[in-house]
Amino acid sequence: MVVVSDRQKTQYREEGYFILEQALPNDAIKTLRLECQTFIDQMNAEMDRAGTDTIGINHRDRRYFIAQPSLQSVAIRSIYFSGLFAEICRATIGDQVYGYFEQYVVKAAERGMKFSWHQDSAFGEVAPHPPYVTCWCALDDMTEANGTVYLLPYSQTGRRDLVPHTREEGSNDLVGYTGDDPGQIVEVPAGSIAVFSSHVLHRSGVNTTDRMRRVYLAQYAPVVMRSNATGEPWGRNEPFIDAGRMVAKEPS
């Protein structure tokens, strides 16, 4: 079991992130890779039915965001609600945790698009909330060439709050920063996890290699997320940890 060190906990509090190298077990990496292509095929079929090459921020053969795969895959669910992510959650957002959102983020070979500077808390129709934690799990070796993620630590932005975002024409990206700071590049081997707050600005580059660049993104919140419009619960809000104890139900 991976253990988050005191140094990493301090870095998360002060800078909003830390890196766990090669933290995912090999069987988890294999499972997530195998399941990934199935979901890409499903998205392409949905685009075929709609007669389009773009659905939301998904772009055929260029960039995919496959939401909540563990709702369809028992194998992925066992990873999403595993002891590894419980350890990360306790170290970052505390002893009350809800599964909020998870997705695949895939950049296709030689055509994979960039993703602009943004904060994860800017996405969704949610009311103001405390920052949640994002676990950016590398399913391939991550490099500048294949469009890895870049992070802007709190000390480089001078702020920890949610900043205004605007929608970028063409890509449909939400953009929260347009400055010149390139950020901290995350170049790590497959199985590594970049752990960062939903208030940390981050971006990713273009995949210029001849292979896909695949990421599994797991996100967890310290509170029930609520609709900005109605105040009612919004999103998944599946109990994961209660008073420090894992409570996620086994898949039926």
Residue 211 domain flag: yes
- Domain contains 70: yes
Domain contains 26: yes
Q: φ, ψ for residue 90 (rounded to 5)?
A: -60, -35
Q: Tell me if 167 is assigned to some domain.
A: yes
pLDDT digits (tens, 9 = 90+) for 25-83: 999 999 999 999 999 999 899 999 999 999 987 888 888 889 999 999 999 999 999 99
The boundaries of the domain holding residue 162 are: 10-246
Q: Which of 29-38, 118-127, 162-171, 197-206 has the lowest mean pLDDT?
A: 162-171
| Amino acid letter, 16 | G
Q: Please check whether residue 5 lies inside any domain of the structure.
A: no
**The pLDDT of residue 176 is above 90:** no
DSSP 168-201: PTTT--EE---SS---EE----TT-EEEEETTSE
Distance CA 135, CA 200 (A): 12
Give me the pLDDT at residue 5, please.
97
pTM of the predicted protein model? 0.91
Is the pLDDT assigned to residue 167 strictly greater than 90? no
Q: How many structural domains does the chain have?
A: 1
- Check if the beta carbon of residue 194 is closer than 8 Å to that of residue 149: yes
User: Can you give the pLDDT at residue 112?
Assistant: 55
114: exposed, middle or buried (Cβ count in 10 Å: 0-12, 13-18, 19+) = middle
For position 77, which CATH number holds?
Answer: 2.60.120.620
H-type helices in 22-138, by residue range?
A: 26-50, 74-80, 83-92
pLDDT at position 159 is 87
pLDDT computed for residue 60 by the predictor: 85
The predicted model gives 110-123 an average pLDDT of 80
Residue 31 lies in a domain: yes
3 belongs to a structural domain: no
Report which residue type is found at 146: N
Specify if 1 maps to a domain.
Answer: no
